């Protein structure tokens, strides 16, 4: 299961981050999941809640924010949302666009108490 392995690596990073910041318990975790990662927020929270029990994040609340897919066009310089996997510029029709958001999966914030 995709989400379980993601939850496990998240927990590892959370524990490392918490220790590095002198936290004794983690209260809140914010994760940003790009649309392209096809991570399901509910399923990720479910997995996280299952594995967090014995960890420093046992009482932490996991928030998953889905980041929509966004592109930018090197020809006309516009930024736009990419809908239905249409990989071309909505302003000038250029097909050589760059993806600037929506591919990432990152641990955005860890809150806790020392
Ligand atoms: Zn363009």
78, 89 contact by CB (below 8 A): yes
CA of 89 to the centre of ligand 1 (A): 5
Tell which CATH architecture fits domain 2-113.
Answer: 2-Layer Sandwich (3.30)
CA of 86 to the centre of ligand 1 (A): 13
Tokens describing residue 1: 């299961």
CA of 106 to the centre of ligand 1 (A): 28
Domain range list for the chain: 2-113
CA of 70 to the centre of ligand 1 (A): 13
Written as tens digits, the pLDDT of the chain (114 aa) is: 589 999 999 999 999 999 999 999 999 999 999 999 999 999 999 999 999 999 999 999 999 999 999 999 999 999 999 988 888 998 999 999 999 999 999 999 999 999
CA of 21 to the centre of ligand 1 (A): 43
Instruction: Report the alpha-carbon angle 5-37-40, nearest 5.
Output: 70
**Other residues' Cβ atoms within 10 Å of the Cβ of residue 26:** 25
Tokens describing residue 13: 């990073």
Instruction: Report the alpha-carbon angle 85-88-94, nearest 5.
Output: 170
pTM of the predicted structure, to 2 decimals: 0.83
88, 76 contact by CB (below 8 A): no
């Amino acid at each position: 299961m995709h989400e379980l392995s993601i939850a496990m690596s998240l927990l590892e990073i959370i524990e490392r981050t918490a220790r590095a910041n002198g936290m004794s318990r983690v209260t809140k975790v914010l994760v940003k999941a790009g649309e392209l990662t096809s991570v399901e927020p509910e399923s990720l929270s479910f997995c996280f809640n299952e594995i967090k029990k014995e960890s420093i994040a046992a009482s932490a609340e996991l928030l998953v924010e889905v980041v929509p897919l966004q592109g930018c066009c090197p020809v006309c310089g516009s930024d736009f949302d990419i809908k239905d996997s249409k990989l071309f510029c909505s302003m000038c029709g250029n097909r050589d666009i760059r993806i600037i958001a929506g591919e990432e999966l990152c641990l955005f914030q860890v809150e806790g108490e020392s």
